[in-house]
Homo-oligomer: A and B are copies of this chain.
Amino acid sequence: MFAIGDFARHGRVSVRMLRHYDAIGLLQPVAVDPETGYRYYEAAQLSRLNRIIALKDLGFTLQQVASVLDEQVSAAELRGMLILRRAELQSQISADTARLTSVEARLLSIEHEASEPAADVVIKRIAPVRVAELTAIAPSYEPESITPVIQPLYHDLFERLAASRIQPCGPGIAYYEDSVASETAVQVHATVTVAAEPGDRHDFHVLDLPELPVAATVIHRGSMDDVMPTGQALARWIDANGYRSLGYPRELTISYTGNRDEMVTELQAPIARTKQTDRRGHE
């Protein structure tokens, strides 16, 4: 028989933990003095304590530990719990590995005194959106080539929407694809969020922009004529943080009052982890 302090020393846990395990019924002393409330344990209980610690160390909650130890779970259920836990650990590890890469990228940029204020790039999932769209070809991806193409496209789109009595119900989203027209040509898609049936029953196309499961996003302030530095900062961030780009970023207009210099736009670049850093978590 050990008093709680001795038992804690032998089990190398805190007295508070033993009291807690008593309180939740996970490990109860063999005897409690009815007068003083003193708890008494015996050496044989150390093996249960060890089992508790071992399962806890695997990352199970105390509730789960209790149900496993008290044989309220079958072997099949235990297997299920372990498989779930394995998946959790794998994604935890790959998330932490990504964080580590980011921390290291920031450290590097400090060492190089690159003086770039650490880019405020955020990884997000972008949900699918229903939009109305018109498209055209621009000779290159430079803003000077895009602007003269996309502005009349949006003008046209809003007129056709009004004619069809469809109201935009969210932001405009522009996106780009390489065109086969020439080496540098891009297909420009001018779209705006709507609530309407998809299809071509109008003189514009209604479709769902697909989800971007992993996107690197950054806010651009000011005219889209000056978007290149922001886009390049985004590209550098993607590279330095262990990701690779899967295409041109979408441009989501968050705020546009008519003055192009006051525009606020979000660039949303679809990305994936580069193979090297991805391997660990998902084998």
Q: In the complex, which of the residues B79, B99, B110, B123 contacts A59, with contact meaning CB atoms closer than 8 Å?
A: B99
Closest B-chain residue to A171, C-beta based?
B10
A218 to B90, CA, bound (A): 28
How many chain copies does the complex carry? 2
Q: Are the CB atoms of B43 and A255 closer together than 8 Å?
A: yes
Residues of the B chain whose Cβ atoms lie less than 8 Å from the Cβ of A10: 254, 266
Residues of the B chain whose Cβ atoms lie less than 8 Å from the Cβ of A280: 280
A219 at the interface (CB under 8 A from B): yes
As a 0/1 sequence over residues 7 to 30 of chain A, the CB contacts with chain B under 8 angstroms (1 = contact) are 000101000000000000000000
Could you tell me the distance in whole angstroms from the C-beta of A58 to the nearest C-beta in chain B?
Answer: 6
Q: Give the number of residues in A that approach B within 8 Å (Cβ atoms).
A: 51
User: Are A110 and B78 in contact, with the CB atoms below 8 A?
Assistant: yes
In Å, the complex CA distance between A189 and B254 comes to 75
10 A-B Cβ contacts within 8 A? A12-B124, A42-B255, A57-B99, A57-B122, A57-B123, A58-B102, A75-B110, A79-B110, A82-B107, A86-B104
> 3 shortest A-B CB distances, which residue pairs?
A43-B264, A43-B255, A51-B120
